[in-house]
Amino acid sequence: MEQLMSKPLLTNALTRNAETADARLLEIGYQRYYRSIQAYLHRLCGSHEQAEDLAQDTFAKASAAIHKFRGDASLRTWLFQIARNTYLDTLRRPSSVRIDTEEFLAIPDAANDNDPVSRYDASEHRDRIALALGQLPERQRSILLLRDAEELSYIEIADVLAISLAAVKVNLFRARRAFREAYAQLEASEHPGE
């Protein structure tokens, strides 16, 4: 004959199972997405140290809120949303750190490591990209990085930014236009008269 558990024992067992599942889910999220979350934050703020702190804060907040994760969005999207909100929180603080252009430009470029001329051209191009990104408002910079650097889908971006799919498309179009204008201005200022 099957023995039934008392309600308090069953509740405790279910709670322990849920906590174990939450911890495992967070561990999987950390292993899979920590580097891309940290890279996204680095591109947003331009500071390796600040990005590392923000990534740690992101996973600390995720750990505290993992029981609220409903699965409406993917774990990846949920973590990027927490990362972005963590970054935005730093902008609201009076002593917030803005993009450190010098450190942003020092981000290593792995492309063309064997060809010094190509490496120089790539680093010059990367420098202009970093400066152009730094001129964009946070929302435009964030949407470009989520789509082009982190390769999130439009639907995932909508979830991260808490906006509609149509708004993602419009904002991405505007962000790309603003980026091209900023990039062209930087290029023109480096090569006047060409």
Domain harbouring 109, CATH code: 1.20.140.160
In this structure, the chain runs to a length of: 194
Number of structural domains found in the chain: 1
Whether 175 maps to a domain, the answer reads: yes
Q: Which domain holds residue 20?
A: 9-190
| Least-confidence region, from 13-17, 81-85, 93-97, 177-181 | 13-17
Mean pLDDT of all residues in 5-21: 54
Greatest CA span in the chain, whole angstroms?
91
Q: How sure is the predictor about 130, in pLDDT bands with cuts at 50, 70 and 90?
A: confident
The pLDDT, as a whole number, for residue 121 is 59
The pLDDT, as a whole number, for residue 1 is 41
The Cα–Cα gap between 141 and 133 comes to: 6
Report the chain's mean pLDDT, rounded to a whole number. 80
Q: How sure is the predictor about 163, in pLDDT bands with cuts at 50, 70 and 90?
A: very high
Residue type for position 76: R
Mean pLDDT of all residues in 22-36: 89
Mean pLDDT of all residues in 158-178: 94
Mean pLDDT of all residues in 48-66: 92
The pLDDT, as a whole number, for residue 149 is 87
The Cα–Cα gap between 174 and 136 comes to: 11
Which H or E run contains 95?
none
Q: How sure is the predictor about 2, in pLDDT bands with cuts at 50, 70 and 90?
A: very low
Whether 178 maps to a domain, the answer reads: yes
Whether 41 maps to a domain, the answer reads: yes
Mean pLDDT of all residues in 71-98: 82
Higher pLDDT, 135 or 8: 135
Angle at 126 between CA 124 and CA 132, to 5 degrees: 105
Whether 120 maps to a domain, the answer reads: yes
Whether 1 maps to a domain, the answer reads: no
Whether 68 maps to a domain, the answer reads: yes
Whether 65 maps to a domain, the answer reads: yes
Mean pLDDT of all residues in 151-177: 93
Whether 185 maps to a domain, the answer reads: yes
The Cα–Cα gap between 60 and 34 comes to: 12
